[in-house]
Amino acid sequence: MALKIKEIESMSIDELNSKLEELKKELIKHNAQIATGTNPKSPGQVKVIKKTVARILTVLKTKGGEKKP
């Protein structure tokens, strides 16, 4: 799931926005699992998703296609 910065930079703004929405939904799912007390399948995945979201937001900001929350 971890995207390299070169992969992210090569995506279009529309692709980045859709990937961002997908990652946010996945992060919500992982956080819900943690909140209910169940063990997530991959505990390190939350950190990877957060870093990928930050990378996508950074690239969107530099491309001028930042999506408002």
The pLDDT confidence band at residue 26, using thresholds 50, 70 and 90, is very high
Rounded Cα–Cα distance for residues 68 and 12 (Å): 17
Q: Is the pLDDT reported for residue 35 higher than 60?
A: yes
Structure tokens at 27: 């992060």
Is there a contact between 19 and 53 (Cβ–Cβ < 8 Å)? no
pLDDT tens digit string along 40-68?
778 889 999 999 999 999 999 998 865 55
| Domains of the chain, each with CATH number or no CATH | 5-63 (1.10.287.310)
State the chain's mean pLDDT as an integer. Answer: 88
Q: Which residues contact 60 (CB under 8 A, 6 or more apart)?
A: 13, 16, 17, 20, 66, 67
Instruction: Look at residue 58 in the predicted model and tell me its pLDDT.
Output: 93
